[in-house]
Amino acid sequence: MTVASRKHQAMYVTIWYTMGCILWTAFVYLTGNFAVLFTTGTNQANLNWMYVHNAVGLIFTPIGLAIAYYFIPRASNTPLHSHKLSMVGFWSLAFVYVWTGAHHMIHGPISQWLQTIAIAFSVMLLIPVWAVVYNLFATMKGQWHQLRESVALKFLMSGVVFYLLTCFQGPMHSLRTVNAIVSKTDWIPGHAHMAVLGCFSFFAIAGTYFAVPKIWGKALHSQSLANWSYWMLMIGGLGFFTTLWLGGFWQGWQWNNWSIPFIDTVIALKPIWIVRFVSGVLMFLGIVMFAYNILATAMGANEEAAA
């Protein structure tokens, strides 16, 4: 009703994505649950994957992009490069995402034509992805120097790069030949974590760093701790994602060679998992620093107000 009774006719792209997220969440949740109740076997599996993929594409993605579209122009004090392009991104996402669920079952027990449709639509997703990434990069044209000063912008623009990498990786591993190597290996959590931890968490952290000092009308508790949290999450994240991709690709390569016993493929990955563990610890420390900084800002402001 807030949107319906608005004063300004034009809606900024963040409102489109937020409204999309609210409506699609209801649709995805209902279809997902009905699918489980009223279908069985491979039909159920297929509908279940439609549910899963829409959860990432029609719930996480729109709300994440809503944050990025709002905070990048705000934090850099620069208008969005193109409203038209942002609409191309929104509507092409709305049209394309819903047909891609079956790419989770490539080489699985479903019709080949269904797999081919899912692959074709997965590749088409490059259109909304490019529209978003180009628009946000073009917005920052001539403004890149601001990244030195603003932790929020550092997180936001790194998130955009992670979004591009995730969504380039996605269409590629939908292809039958690539999928035959990487499916069910560490590569897939590498992809999923780069999306949710690398991209959307970075957007959310940036939004929090930007908004909390404004809400409490007080400077951030520590700028240098915020920078440390960025580098911990960035270095930890890069270590985490790259070890998962490299390890996953290697794992898939070995699994495709049937003469290698499975247990040997587990042992071979041990050094890679150790690097991943260290990277995970760095990410954890980054999150703790972030949480402490935000809490200290809010509590410091409350104490000042009480005094």
Binding site for ligand HEM (CB under 6 A): 56, 60-61, 103-104, 106, 122, 125, 129, 166-167, 170-171, 173-174, 179, 183, 188, 191-192, 195-196
Residue 103 beta carbon to ligand HEM: minimum distance, rounded to whole angstroms: 4
Alpha carbon of 196 to those of 17, 61, 203, 232: distances in Å? 17, 9, 10, 17
CB nearer to ligand HEM: give 183 or 293: 183
Say if residues 293 and 218 touch (Cβ distance below 8 Å). no
Both tokens of residue 129? 């992805």
CB of 303 to ligand HEM, least distance (A): 38
- Quote the least distance from Cβ 232 to ligand HEM, whole Å: 22
Least Cα distance to 86 among 124, 146, 138, 122 occurs for: 138
Cα–Cα dist 24/28, whole Å? 6
C-beta of 55 vs 225, nearer to ligand HEM: 55
Contact of 293 with 152, CB cutoff 8 Å: no
> At closest approach, how far in Å is the CB of 241 from ligand HEM?
13
Nearer to ligand HEM, 47 or 195 (CB): 195
**Nearer of residues 158 and 166 to ligand HEM, judged by Cβ:** 166
CB 239 within 8 A of CB 276: yes
Q: How far is the CB of 2 from ligand HEM (least distance, A)?
A: 26
> Toward ligand HEM, which CB reaches closer, 205 or 294?
205
Long-range contacts of 302-306 (CB under 8 A, 24+ apart): 302/216, 304/218
CB 298, min distance to ligand HEM, A: 28
Rounded Cα distance between 279 and 234, Å, is 10
In Å, the largest CA–CA distance within the chain is: 73
For the bound state, the minimum distance from the C-beta of residue 102 to ligand HEM, rounded and expressed in Å, comes to 9
Q: How many helices (H) and strands (E) does the chain have?
A: 13, 0
Q: Which C-beta is closer to ligand HEM: that of 64 or that of 239?
A: 64
- Cα separation, 136 vs 167, in Å, equals 15
Q: Report which residue's Cβ sits closest to ligand HEM.
A: 170
CA distance 101 to 121: 10
b/e per residue 202-214 (b: at least 16 CB within 10 A):
bbbbbbbbbebbe
- C-alpha Rg value of the chain to the nearest Å: 21
Q: How far is the CB of 291 from ligand HEM (least distance, A)?
A: 22
Q: Which is nearer to ligand HEM, 81 or 103 (CB)?
A: 103
Nearer CB in complex with ligand HEM: 16/163? 163
